[in-house]
């Protein structure tokens, strides 16, 4: 006989939300990009060398192709032309899409359920982000169930708003009437 649970599955996260890309995913990403770079003639270096160069470059969402090119220029031998810079522009988003797929897979595997409902009025108890501070009132304006996010805003009639993870909002806000 199965032992009774302290909390129903819908009220707990059985595994934490993936916040990072695995090392194996990163290696595959860098190898894929390196292959495309050689196929397009932007470098004649071995794929392994290009992949290593890419792993040393900042690919945060705050950088663009030009900034990536400046870092790559210090790493190895590349032919920088407009097509290559445009290609490099997309790398931060491609990398982030891997993490987003991890989250979607996590949602499918664990089916987290939101505790608040559409239209609920909440008071923020602990700052959520730079624009959502303690003491402010926000409303649930929608859900992104595929990534386990609430859509919240100070205006309850707004279509859209700020995305906040289920677990962050639920642990930092209380429902008020």
pLDDT single digits (tens) 128-146? 988 889 999 999 999 999 9
Average pLDDT over residues 97-113: 93
Average pLDDT over residues 106-127: 94
Angstrom distance (rounded) from CA 67 to CA 107: 34
pLDDT tens for residues 33-92? 999 999 999 999 999 999 999 999 988 878 899 999 999 998 878 999 999 999 999 999
pLDDT tens column, 159-173: 889 999 999 999 999
- pTM, two decimals, is 0.76
Burial of 159 (0-12, 13-18, 19+ CB in 10 A): exposed
Give the per-residue pLDDT at 177: 83
130's tokens: 């730079």
* Residue-level pLDDT at 2: 56
Would you say 134 and 118 are in contact if contact means Cβ atoms under 8 Å apart?
A: no
Find all residues with CB under 8 Å of 80, minimum gap 6, and list them.
42, 69, 73
Beta bridge pairs of residue 137? 123
């Amino acid at each position: 006989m199965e032992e009774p649970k302290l909390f129903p599955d819908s009220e707990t996260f059985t595994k934490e939300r993936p916040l990072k890309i695995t090392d194996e995913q990163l290696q595959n990403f860098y190898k894929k990009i390196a292959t495309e770079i050689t196929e397009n003639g932007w470098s004649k270096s071995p794929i392994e060398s290009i992949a290593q160069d890419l792993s040393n470059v900042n690919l945060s969402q705050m950088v663009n192709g030009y900034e990536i090119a400046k870092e790559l220029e210090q790493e190895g031998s590349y032919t920088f032309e407009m097509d290559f810079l445009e290609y490099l522009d997309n790398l931060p988003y491609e990398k982030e899409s891997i993490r987003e797929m991890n989250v979607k897979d996590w949602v499918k595997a664990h089916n987290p359920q939101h505790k608040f409902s559409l239209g609920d009025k909440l008071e923020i108890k602990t700052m959520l982000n730079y624009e959502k501070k303690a003491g402010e009132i926000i409303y649930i304006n929608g859900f992104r169930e595929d990534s386990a996010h609430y859509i919240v805003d100070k205006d309850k009639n707004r279509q859209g708003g700020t995305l906040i993870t289920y677990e962050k909002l639920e642990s930092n806000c209380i429902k008020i009437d």
